[in-house]
Structures are given as C-alpha cells and as structure tokens.
Amino acid sequence: MNTTMHSHIKTILWSEDQISRRVSELAAEVSADFAGCSLAPIVVGVATGAFLFVADLVRKIEFSVPVDFVRAESYGSGTESNGAPTISLDLKVDINARHVILVFLFSSAQHPMPLFCKRDTVFKLLE
C-alpha cells in the first residue's frame, strides 16, 4: 500500500484483498439465491458513498441486475445529524413486487436511518 496516499488513515481494518473476497462471496450468495428467478433483484445504493461497493458487487453477480440510488440527508449544512432525514434523491426504477438489495455504508460515526419510506414501500435498514 502507498503509505503517502493513505497517511491520513490511522488504522486499516480490512485489506483490499479481504474486501474483494467478501464482495465475491456476497455476489455468489446473491447469484445462488436468485438463480432461476424470472425477475432479477434490484440493487439500491443509499447515498453516493455506496456506489463503488455497488459497482464491485453487481459486476460479480452472475446475471444482470438493475441498479438505482437513493439519497437521504439529515445533516443539512451542519456536521451533526438533525435526526429528521429527508429523501433528496428518490428511486427512478419501480420496485413494486420486486426483491430489493439495499446497500448502505455504516460506520460508528454515522447512524443509519431506521426507515426509508417511499410511497407504499417501507425499507427497513438493518443495523
């Protein structure tokens, strides 16, 4: 690893190889779970921070999957959550009667919103 490029990082929890292996394992699970289904699941990334992981994941799934993103914000112009998230970018694909794989980033510094509501659909985010 280039230590100059990553000098701002105090501790690396997982190496690139470990992450790549886990993404491959997850893609294999998705491929097996949905093999033979008439409709592929829709992969939904939450916020733009998930896009690299989503890209890596869908490239390794054994069939084509639709991808979309949703953005929820609760920070406004500050650095602390106001506790009242709003959806600032909504889905463009129809998820009615579809399996949805929700991909979001979580760290101890962030608190994922417990619910995403979109019309008649409720996405429960698992912590």
Kindly list the structural domains of the chain, giving each domain's residue range(s) and its CATH number in brackets, ordered by start. Answer: 16-124 (3.40.50.2020)
pLDDT digits (tens, 9 = 90+) for 90-110: 678 888 888 888 887 665 344
Q: At what angle do helices 16-33 and 51-60 cross, to 10 degrees?
A: 60
pTM check: above 0.75: no
pLDDT digits (tens, 9 = 90+) for 32-56: 999 999 999 999 888 767 888 999 9
